[in-house]
Amino acid sequence: MTTFATPPLPLAGLPVSERDRPGFRLIVADPLALDSGQSLAPYAIAYTTYGTLNAERSNAILICHALTGDQYVAEPHPITGKPGWWDILAGPGKVLDTERYFLICANVLGGCMGSTGPADLNPATGAPWNLSFPVITIADMVRAQKQLIDQLGIAQLFAVIGGSMGGMQVLQWAASYPDRVFAAVPIATAARHSAQNIAFHEVGRQAIMADANWCDGDYLARGVRPQRGLAVARMAAHVTYLSEQALHRKFGRNLQNREALTFGFDADFQVENYLRHQGMSFVDRFDANSYLYITRACDYFDLAAEHGGVLANAFADTKTRFCSISFTSDWLYPTAENREIVHALNAAAANVSFVEVATDKGHDAFLLDEPEFHATLRGFLDGCAEHRGLIRR
Amino acid sequence: MSPDATRLTPATAPLREDLRLVADMIDPGSRVLDVGCGNGELLSYLVHARSVDGRGMELSQGGVNSCVRNGLSVIQGDADNDLHDYPSHAFDYIVLSQTLQATRNPREVLHHLVRIGRHAIVSIPNFGHWRMRMRILIEGRMPRTPVLPHHWYDTPNIHLCTLLDFVDLCDEESIAVERSVTLDDLGRPYRLNPRGRLANLLAAQGLFLLRGRS
């Protein structure tokens, strides 16, 4: 067995705190050709790994994180100290078993946890990119990840797995680099961003831009941050991640530490207090401009458009084994949109499984304890591991 | 009836009799889509004992989930709505077991089957079976049998036919019946010609290997 790791590489101008973050950074000097026509060089990809890459380099699973996720899948978050966002799934003996698989997760391009994004310094000017950072797409994120996988010497990923925006990356991986993906698990996602989803993202972006501290994106130089705008963006988005039933079950119309309505605009209701907390804790770990860029990348995602308007063409002759998973109460990426992916895969005669998990937890279900979902993923990966010849250690 | 139909190869795992007859129509190593695969009993057997590249489709979410948990490639869907997407001849065999009579448009489903599969394997309950006839003739009641156990008001079987009706439809639609087996209530084969009036009276089920003539 080879343990594979690259040492963290120093990036000029990087604050010390970032250098000390757990995980690795890959600096790529070759320009990355972006969908916008611009190119980006040099750029950094911050990533973490768990488990051990086997001698054949055949047991690597790339985990793609969602809009506001990051590479800290299965370890405490370096800023919030909270458990990794997929701690429930990833670890020794868990579904994404680190004793069996080599897990990789990279912060997306445009992100703010170490991969190059708008808050980083533009080497040409020495000042933060801010809004001069090129608009990036899901395909650009995947191109950058492919550089990382090349660097790690992995000819074929055993699996690429992700939910929500992570699921879009999974689909893009399978479409762009079919030979590099043995199995693909797009979860609670869509092959294109719907008008409703674009609309919600626009609400978030407008909330950020309406904050006077946003300063047309130039807030870093002015020593301020559009925290209120970013918090409102998070609050609005957070509602879309839940379901009406889940909100009702959790909060109902319960009052927050009070016996009666105050006839004012304090957080009378628990649900208000919860959302305010979600908003305020988010701004500690996320950059407002990154939020603009990453939501934009989701909005631009339309996999069929790249293939003559026929989604099935994105998967023509694919050998990848797919498992699509959706959740009944997810109204952000509803089952119907996941099913469109499945229909396209059928039309390409691809090997596909599709499971809709009954839950009232909404879109966020893919991050939560959902035994049916976990059993499905475990069964699918076990079946694939058998076909790939991965021996259980 | 062709002598091949009842020449059974030994199964490595116990398989329900009628499913074993289906399995025996399928060449090892071929590509198979099992429509209405239930909990994956046939599919699992084909994948593991016959090295088949197998896929399944199942309406019940419980069935789908249990299949995928066991490593089978299965999607949630049904014959009426989810066959359109598949390209022609995507599979060597497509199996529709005891389900055609529950589809909204059996003729269209049948066409999809022989389009998607180089061969289609279809089994149907025989509404011409003597039990059905007796129940209507003597008792004046809607038939209920071991093969068709539902009441008239809760049955999913909305397009029942007799073996002769089914063979007529195949003829009209230029679908070749390559092989056929008639079965009793328990899924055991009868040595009867499914195009004959006797089979139409005595057989509880028919199993057909079909091929499109286009």
The answer to whether residues A181 and A310 belong to one domain is: yes
Residue B10: pLDDT band by 50, 70, 90 thresholds? Answer: very low
Q: Is residue A61 part of a domain?
A: yes
**What are the structure tokens assigned to A101, written together?**
């698989």
Q: Which two tokens stand for residue B121?
A: 């394997």
Q: What is the pTM of this model?
A: 0.90
ipTM: 0.83
A67 and A138 both lie in a single domain: yes
pLDDT at A20: 66
Task: For residues A238 and A313, state if they share a domain.
Answer: no
Residues of B in contact with A343 (CB under 8 A): 82, 85
Tokens encoding A296: 């934009």
Number of folded domains that form chain A:
2
Separation between Cα atoms, residue A191 and residue A382, nearest integer Å: 26
pLDDT digits (tens, 9 = 90+) for B40-80: 999 999 999 999 999 999 998 889 988 998 899 999 999 99
Is the same domain home to A135 and A160? yes
Per the document, the length of chain B is 214
Query: Taking 80 as the threshold, does the pLDDT of residue B127 lie above it?
Result: yes
Q: Which is more confidently placed, B213 or A254?
A: A254
Assess whether A290 carries a catalytic annotation.
no
Buried b (16+ CB within 10 A) or exposed e, B20-41: bbbbbbbeeebbbbbbbbbbbb
Q: What mean pLDDT do residues B10-16 have? A: 60
CATH number at residue B80: 3.40.50.150
Q: Name the active-site residue from A58, A65, A120, A164.
A: A164
Of A324, A349, A355, the CB nearest to B90: A349
**Better pLDDT: A179 or B8:** A179
pLDDT one-digit tens code per residue, A304-348: 999 999 999 999 999 999 999 999 999 999 999 999 999 999 999
Collect the ranges in chain A with pLDDT lower than 50. Answer: 1-16
Task: Retrieve residue A315's tokens.
Answer: 């998967």
Q: Do A35 and A133 share a structural domain?
A: yes
Residues A168 and A204 in one domain: no
Over residues A165-213, the pLDDT tens digits come to: 999 999 999 999 999 999 999 999 999 999 999 999 999 999 999 999 9
Q: Is residue A122 part of a domain?
A: yes
Torsion of Cα atoms, B140 then B141 then B146 then B150, to 10°: 160
Q: Where are the alpha helices (DSSP H) in chain A?
A: 16-19, 138-151, 165-176, 195-210, 219-222, 227-241, 244-251, 270-283, 288-300, 335-347, 371-388
Which residues make beta-bridge pairs with A322?
Answer: A184, A352
A164 labelled catalytic: yes
Question: Is A238 a residue of the active site?
Answer: no
> What does the pLDDT read at residue A1?
32
Residue for token pair 């896929």: B55
A295, A325, A346 — which closes off a domain? Answer: A295
Is A184 in the same domain as A226?
A: no
Residues 6+ apart with CB under 8 A from A147: A26, A28, A30, A32, A45
How far is the C-alpha of A346 from the C-alpha of B85, rounded, in Å? 6
> For testing the chain B interface, which of A310, A327, A328, A346 should be mutated: the one with the most B CBs within 10 Å?
A346
Residue A291 token pair: 């939020």
Task: Note whether A72 and A145 are same-domain residues.
Answer: yes
Q: What is the distance between the alpha carbons of residues A351 and B185, in angstroms, rounded to a whole number?
A: 35
Question: Are A218 and A161 contained in the same domain?
Answer: no
Does B173 have pLDDT greater than 50? yes
- The reply to whether B55 touches chain A by the CB within 8 Å rule is yes
Question: In angstroms, what separates the C-alpha of A3 from chain B's closest C-alpha?
Answer: 29
- Enclosing domain of residue A47: 16-195+304-388
Average pLDDT of span B176-183: 94
The residue among A231, A265, A295 that closes a domain is A295
Question: Does residue B81 register a pLDDT over 80?
Answer: yes
CATH code: domain of residue A337: 3.40.50.1820
pLDDT at A119: 96
Contact A208, A230 (CB under 8 A): yes
Other CB atoms closer than 10 Å to residue B127's CB: what's the count?
Answer: 22
User: Is residue A246 included in any domain, yes or no?
Assistant: yes
**In this structure, is residue A176 part of a structural domain?**
yes
Q: Are residues A91 and A201 in the same domain?
A: no
Residue B72's pLDDT is 95
Domain shared by A367 and A261, yes or no: no
| DSSP track, A300-320 | H-BTTGGGTT-GGGGGTT---
Asked if A68 and A190 sit in the same domain, the reply is yes
Give the SS3 label for residue B103: coil
- How many distinct structural domains can be found in chain B? 1
| Residue at which a domain ends, from A275, A295, A315 | A295
